Amino acid sequence: MTTTDLRLDLLMKLSDLPGVPGQEDAVRDFVLAELDGLADEVRVDALGNVIARRAASGEGPRGRVMVSAHMDEIGFLVRYIDEKGYLRLQNLGGFDTRNLFARNVTVHTRGGALPGILTPAGRPVHIASPEERKKVPELREFFVDLGLDGDAVKAQVRVGDMVTLDQTARRVGQLVCGKAMDDRASVFLLLETLRALRGRPLRHDLYAVFSVQEEVGLRGAITAAYGVQPTVGIGLDVTLAVDTPGVGPDEAVTRMGEGIGIKVYDSSMISTRTLVDEFWDLAQAREIPAQLEVLGQGGTDGAAIQRSREGVPTLTLSLPTRYIHTIVESVHETYLRAGVDLLVAYLGEPSA
C-alpha cells in the first residue's frame, strides 16, 4: 500500500471557491494554475471544460483513458427582483430545503460580491401557528435579503447573477468539511493524481477532464467525451456515506472506514463489470482500502462518458461523503489518499 501525501489546504481552498453550473470561472482559473507542469497539453474547450493530456510512454499500442471530475457546485441564479429588492432564485442542482433556513449567501454581480441572507417567506416561530411550524417550505418560497432598498438592489443585481451558499472549509477530526466537496474533492483527487504521476511512465494516454455543468445534466462531460474519444472512462465523484444515526445499515450506500467506493450501479449507469473487477482486484493486491457501491439514485460524469459515440467501457470511483448537498459535506482524508493511490496504480506502468 502506498502512502500518498495530500495537500489538504488545497482542497479547502477549492471548496471555498464559488462556481455554479455555467459560471465555474474561479474554479477553472484555480485548476489551470495548479496544472502547470503536470501535463503535456492543457486546453479549455468551447463549453468551459479543462482538458489536460499526458501521453503514454513508449511506442506500442495504447488506449485513451478519460478521467473526469466536475468543477461546478449546486447553487442558484437570480430569477426575479421585486420592488423591495428581495431576490427570488432559480436552483441549479438538487436541494433539501430543510438545510436552507437562515443561511448566509453571496450574490456575485458584475460589480462585485454582495452578502445576503437566504430564508423562506412566512412568519417566524414566535408568531407561527402549529401547522406553519411543521411545514417544510418549497424552494420557490425562499428569497434573498441584501439589506438594501429596491432601487439600490436593481442598480447592482441582474437576473442571472450567481448566488452561492457561504461556508469556510475546515478540518473536523479526520474529515475535511465544507460546501462544494461535491465535487471539488474529486477535482482535488484528480490534481493530486496528476502530481503523483509526474515523471512516471503511463500505460495509456491520459486525459484529465475538469468538467462543467454536471449538476444540471452531466453537460460538460458529454461534450468532453465526444471530443476526447476515450477507449476507457473513469468518473470521479462523491457518493452517500449515510453511516450516521437514524439510517439503517442497508441504506448507508457506503461507510466511513471501508475505503474508496468502486461504483457498481447508480440510476444513470451500470459500470462496466470487467473494469469493476479490475479495480477491485488491483485495490486488493495493493492493499488499498475499497468498497463496492450501489446507489439507488444519482449520476456522475461516468454516465456521460459511457454513452459517448458508440459507447465506452466506464466506471466511477466514489468518495464516501457525509451530508451531501449541504454546506457541511464531509470527506475522509484516508479515502482521498486511497483514491489517488488506486488511480496511480491503474494509470501507471505496472513496473512503476
CA atoms within 13 A on the CB side of 129: 3
> Among 29, 10, 11, 9, which residue's Cα sits nearest to residue 19?
29
What 3-state class would DSSP assign to 140? Answer: helix
214 labelled catalytic? yes
Using DSSP, how many helices (H) and how many strands (E) does the chain show? Answer: 9, 18
What 3-state class would DSSP assign to 91? Answer: strand
Amino acid at 88: R
Distance CA(90)–CA(193), nearest Å, equals 35
> Among 70, 30, 73, 37, which residue's Cα sits nearest to residue 52?
37
Locate 35 and state its grid cell: 496544472
Alpha helix (H) ranges present in the chain? Answer: 8-16, 25-34, 130-134, 150-156, 181-197, 219-228, 273-286, 301-306, 333-347
Choose, from 192, 214, 215, 293, the residue flagged as catalytic: 214
Sequence-distant (≥ 6) Cβ neighbours of residue 147 within 8 angstroms: 115, 116, 117
Distance CA(266)–CA(110), nearest Å, equals 39
The answer to whether 202 and 57 have CB atoms below 8 angstroms apart is: yes
Catalytic positions, written as ranges: 214
